[in-house]
């Protein structure tokens, strides 16, 4: 059985989708959720689905204070699902090519520090992009620069708003993220 650990900072809809997707899987399961946000809705979602959730501070992350907790789960894959902090080098070294992230744009467009959530969707609309999408990639020491695993696009119109773009992206995330995680693990 492959063990998945999910990191999230917000509402946790992707984390919930991943947990549910693997709940009856014969080869993988989500064994733990980690969040840096004590008010994140992902905490309630994980608890409702009976997955242990750990809250930590930015200092805990940067100083390595959570490494032992992560190691206790023996993860085969660490999945960033709306996790907003930069992953420190010690964690990347400990789990080389075992940390993946989902980005709500077609990288390399709209990537980098400060480019997340509504900021991306607003930039996509302001730039009159004809399409946007999701990128699932390995995590390295630079924001959104790890090797791309998967991308898929969705068409946009001149009527699209940041909110409608966000809805289109959310549909792609829900549809493809768990499937790509399964592919990576196999």
C-alpha count within 13 angstroms, C-beta hemisphere, residue 67? 13
Q: Which of the following is catalytic: 54, 103, 121, 137?
A: 103
pLDDT in tens, 135-155: 999 999 999 999 999 999 999
Q: Could you give the CA distance from residue 141 to residue 133 in angstroms, rounded to a whole number?
A: 23
If you average pLDDT over residues 71-79, what whole number do you get?
98
If you average pLDDT over residues 11-36, what whole number do you get?
97
Q: Could you give the CA distance from residue 183 to residue 186 in angstroms, rounded to a whole number?
A: 5
How crowded is residue 15: how many other Cβ atoms within 10 Å of its Cβ?
30
pLDDT of residue 13: 97
pLDDT of residue 70: 98
pLDDT in tens, 107-131: 999 999 889 999 999 999 999 999 9
pLDDT of residue 50: 98
pLDDT of residue 97: 96
Q: Could you give the CA distance from residue 145 to residue 29 in angstroms, rounded to a whole number?
A: 27
> Please, what's the largest Cα pairwise distance for the chain?
49
Q: Is 103 a catalytic residue?
A: yes
- Cβ–Cβ < 8 Å for 181, 77: yes
Domains of the chain and CATH, by start: 2-103+134-153+173-185 (3.40.50.170)
Token pair 């907003």 in the structure block, residue? 84
If you average pLDDT over residues 153-167, what whole number do you get?
97
If you average pLDDT over residues 88-112, what whole number do you get?
97
> What's the pTM value of the predicted model, to 2 decimals?
0.96
- Cβ–Cβ < 8 Å for 104, 169: yes
Computed over every residue of the chain, the mean pLDDT equals: 97
If you average pLDDT over residues 35-60, what whole number do you get?
98
């Amino acid at each position: 059985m492959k063990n998945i650990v999910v990191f999230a900072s917000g509402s946790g809809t992707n984390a919930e989708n991943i947990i549910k997707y693997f709940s009856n899987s014969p080869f993988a399961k989500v064994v733990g959720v980690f969040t840096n946000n004590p008010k994140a809705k992902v905490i309630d979602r994980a608890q409702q689905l009976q997955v242990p959730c750990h809250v930590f501070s930015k200092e805990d992350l940067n100083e390595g204070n959570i490494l032992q907790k992560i190691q206790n789960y023996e993860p085969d894959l660490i999945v960033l699902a709306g996790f907003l902090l930069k992953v420190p080098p010690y964690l990347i070294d400990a789990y080389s090519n075992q940390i993946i992230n989902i980005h709500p744009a077609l990288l390399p467009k709209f990537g980098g520090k400060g480019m997340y959530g509504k900021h991306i969707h607003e930039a996509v609309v302001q730039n009159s992009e004809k399409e946007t999408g999701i990128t699932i990639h390995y995590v390295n020491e630079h924001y959104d620069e790890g090797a791309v695993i998967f991308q898929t696009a969705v068409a946009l119109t001149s009527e699209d708003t940041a909110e409608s773009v966000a809805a289109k992206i959310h549909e792609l995330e829900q549809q493809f993220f768990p499937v790509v995680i399964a592919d990576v693990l196999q």
